[in-house]
Amino acid sequence: MSLQPDDKIVIKKLKEGDVLSFDRVYEKYHKRVYYFALSYLKNREEAEEIVQEVFLNLWRSREQIKEYYVFSRYIFKITFNAIHKSFRKQASDRRHLESVIKDIVLEDDSTNIDLEYNNLMELADQYIERLPPKQKSIFLMSISENLTNEDIASKLKISRKTVDNHLSNARAFLKKSFIDGRLISALFFSLFLK
């Protein structure tokens, strides 16, 4: 069970407290959240706890979801915040903290977390802007409008294979751009842009 082009309807129903819609969102995103957290935390149990916390927070704050917002970004932000919260809990064990996140500075100030998150969003937008126009258009239809490759092909009156090629090339370019040695950038790509 995964979200289809009617994602906006699913999100609307989720906001209204529909459990089946929540299940569909969980089914689509729980593995991404898990692997994202595991890449940071290097611990399966802690990654599973992050998944639980993320979806519990999603359910609790469902009424605040903005329907026009790219939903994967919303999930990413909740996950990002949960991981930072987990690191703050572990901050007393300095050696563990330094071995896991050598180049990420964590503070209790959530403004820094929001700033880092916003920087990643800006970076993503900059990389997306560098795509050739057709690739960019198809890529945005895929991630922002949650259209399937078939729907994009139909809408643009091109072959499914052409859509597949454009998306594959766009993702290859974005992945190469993001994999710059910074863990957070690589993980952001794996959650948000796949």
Yes or no: say if 50 and 33 are a contact pair by the CB < 8 Å rule: yes
Side chain identity at residue 61, one-letter code: S
Yes or no: say if 113 and 84 are a contact pair by the CB < 8 Å rule: yes
Question: For the domain 1-106, what is the CATH code?
Answer: 1.10.1740.10
Yes or no: say if 192 and 72 are a contact pair by the CB < 8 Å rule: yes
On the CB side of 58, CA atoms within 13 Å amount to 29
Locate 164 and state its tokens.
């597949």
Put simply, whether the predicted model's pTM sits higher than 0.85 gets the answer no
To the nearest whole number, what is the mean pLDDT of the chain? 77
Side chain identity at residue 94, one-letter code: R
Q: Which ranges in the chain are annotated with CATH 1.10.10?
A: 109-194
Q: Classify 109-194 by CATH class.
A: mainly alpha
Yes or no: say if 83 and 40 are a contact pair by the CB < 8 Å rule: yes
Q: What is the pLDDT of residue 2?
A: 43
Kindly report which listed range (19-23, 71-75, 186-190) carries the lowest average pLDDT score: 186-190
For residue range 128-176, what is the model confidence (pLDDT) as tens digits?
888 899 998 988 888 777 788 898 999 999 999 999 999 888 888 877 7
